[in-house]
Amino acid sequence: MIPIVYNVRSVVRRPVSTALTALGVGLVVAVFIGMLALANGFRAALAKTGSNTNALVLRKGADSELSSGLGRDVASIIAADPHVATGADNRPLVSPEVYVLIPLAKAFDTTQIANVVVRGVSDQAWQVRSNVKITAGQRPTSGRPEVCVGSRLTKRFPHTGVGQTLHFAGRDWTVTCQFSAAGSAFESEIWGENEQFMPVFRGDVFQSITFRLKDPATFDDAQRALQADKRLTVDVHRESEFYAQQSQLLGNILSFLAIMITGIMAVGAVFGAINTMYAAIASRAPEIGVLLTLGFRPWTVLVSFLAESAFIAVIGGVLGGLFSLPLNGIVTSTTNWSSFSEIAFSFRVTPFLLLAGLIFAVVMGVVGGFFPALRAARLQVVQALR
């Protein structure tokens, strides 16, 4: 075998060309990782929103909380259901919720309007949603026009700090606390008491009812029992599945774009790599002739040049990974068209993505290096040595 040192030295001998090729590959990899990190972050935010131990009830046929509507009678039937877990005070862990969207102007550009979720919850909601933690202030007092604001809203929208007053639905609401919810979509919501929101929004109707299952394994039973109940016309979803499904539309669009854009880019980068390697091999024909004269077999020359191309690509892959790392954790926001609401989420650059980026780089290098390497291996000694 031709020692790999030969390739490393050759690569180092032409630093500009190597750097340009590696940089090109690196940018492709960075975009690849960056775009998938975006799709990933979006999916993760919604996947974390729902809990496996909770069930979400919507009106039959409704595909989002927004389009659903349930009466008080439904809420009381569900609260009495044996599948519902009970809290320490023996009250059922049920949260009949009001779910509406309100337009809020963004802090940095007031012409940009976002549809923010306002969720009216019951007293039990804070227990039902175990991922929700109050990080500052006190929970809204029942009977008062008070709200608690998700942590991702505070920086992006004015008047959302604890102690400030938000104005919506024609009334003033005091912000008494701020909550976090493990990076989930709840962090982009405003929570208040359901009984406070009912009269100012849509009247005596809930949009969804979420309850904690006594035993997560009995979800199917609970679903069957409630959907078969003649008094109800509802669909019962596992909360985790429901929110994961809400991420499908946009998540798929983002992934599709990531694959398509980086796919086209990759082809361009591979073309570039092929050219670079052809040029490299053309200018090193005498060297290759010497190698062949020395007795190295053509296939070892092939492997050697493939390795060289892969080596340049790996440099690019590492560069690309490094470029994409600062993206991790950056918060961005968009409208989730499945729920029509604005959701903030962060880029998630995972080790898996970094590895995928590196593999992607190597593949580009090997594909780009193959035909030039083949030509190198097939060189006629006499001709090459001239």
Partner 1 sequence: MKYFRLVLANLGRHRLRTVLTILSVALALFLFASLRSVTTTLAATAQFGGARRLVTTNATGLVFPLPLAYGNRIKALPGVTGLSWANWFGGKYGDGKRFFANFAVDAESYLKIYPEIVLPADQRDAFLKDRTGALIGKRLLSQFGWKLGQNVTLQGTIFPGDWTFTVDGVYTPTDPAIGDDVLIFHHDYFDERIGRAGIAGWYIVEIDDVSHAPAVAKSIDDLFRNSSSPTKTGTEREFQATFATMWGNVSFLMSTIGLAVVFAILLVTANAMMMSARERTGEIAVLKTIGFSDRLLFALVMVEAGVMALTGAVLGLGGAKLFYPAINFNGLGFLPGFTVAPSTLIIGALVAIGLMLASGLAPALRAARLPIVQALRHVE
Q: Could you list the residues that contact partner 1 (CB under 8 A)?
A: 17, 20-21, 23-28, 30-31, 34-35, 38, 59-64, 66-67, 100-103, 111-115, 168-170, 201-202, 233, 249, 253, 257, 261, 264-265, 267-269, 271-276, 278-280, 282-283, 332-335, 337, 340, 342, 386
Nearer to partner 1, 6 or 201 (CB): 201
Minimum distance from residue 102 beta carbon to partner 1 (Å): 5
SS3 339: coil
CA-nearest of 64, 70, 276, 305 to 185 is 64
Minimum distance from residue 221 beta carbon to partner 1 (Å): 25
CA-nearest of 346, 372, 205 to 278 is 372
Nearer to partner 1, 52 or 335 (CB): 335
Strand intervals (E) in the chain: 54-59, 94-105, 113-121, 133-137, 146-150, 165-168, 171-180, 189-193, 208-212, 234-238, 331-336, 341-346
User: H-helix or E-strand containing 86?
Assistant: none
DSSP string, 168-222: ETTEEEEEEEEEE-TTSGGGGEEEEEHHHHHHHTTSS-BSEEEEEBSSGGGHHHH
Nearer to partner 1, 138 or 283 (CB): 283
Nearer to partner 1, 26 or 289 (CB): 26
SS3 276: helix
Minimum distance from residue 106 beta carbon to partner 1 (Å): 9
Place of tokens 């035909």: 371
Minimum distance from residue 382 beta carbon to partner 1 (Å): 14
Nearer to partner 1, 79 or 114 (CB): 114
Minimum distance from residue 273 beta carbon to partner 1 (Å): 7
Minimum distance from residue 31 beta carbon to partner 1 (Å): 5
Greatest Cα pair distance, the chain, in angstroms, is 94
Minimum distance from residue 53 beta carbon to partner 1 (Å): 27
Q: Are 190 and 181 within 8 A, CB to CB?
A: no
Nearer to partner 1, 271 or 352 (CB): 271
Nearer to partner 1, 340 or 352 (CB): 340
